[in-house]
Amino acid sequence: MTSTHMRVTLIAMLLAASCKQQAQPARQSGAGGVTEIAVTEKGFEPDRIQTAPGQQVTLRFTRKVAPTCADAVEVQGDPVRHMLPLNAPVDVKVTAPQSGQLAFACPMNMYRGAIVVVAQ
């Protein structure tokens, strides 16, 4: 590895570290907690929700923009397509896996988000 390579690697690592600090996903408060997720022109906000392993989570989706392809949401492992009427909160109850993450997305898989399991 050349010193240029090492420098680039170091900068990349520093950037990754600072990104990690900036990203502050909404943290699930506790059992039975509700996490509000807005559907905006940017997609799902927040798009990453941290939770404990096996935690029951209620995701409250509220679509706030009319022209979007995210007029419904599908959760990994859930056969139901949850329609999202404009400005009407829709609760989707999910159970977090023991590790890893549980993804959700619009039916076209353009906008994506995930419940991220963190050890506590």
Residues that bind Cu ion (CB under 5 A): 69, 106, 108, 110
Question: In whole angstroms, how far apart are CA 16 and each of 9, 27, 99, 106, 119?
Answer: 10, 21, 22, 28, 21
Nearer Cβ to Cu ion (15/110):
110
Residue placing its CB nearer to Cu ion in the complex, 106 or 114: 106
| CA angle, residues 60, 62, 68, in degrees to nearest 5 | 135
Which CB atom, from 46 or from 107, has the smaller least distance to Cu ion? 107
Distance CA 120, CA 72 (A): 32
Q: Which residues contact 16 (CB under 8 A, 6 or more apart)?
A: none
CB of 76: closest distance to Cu ion in angstroms?
Answer: 15
**Measured from the CB of residue 108, what is the shortest distance to Cu ion in angstroms?**
3
User: Which is closer to Cu ion, CB of 50 or CB of 63?
Assistant: 63
CB of 19 to Cu ion, least distance (A): 25
In the structure encoding, which two tokens stand for residue 52, read together?
């404990």
Shortest Cβ 72–Cu ion spacing (Å): 9
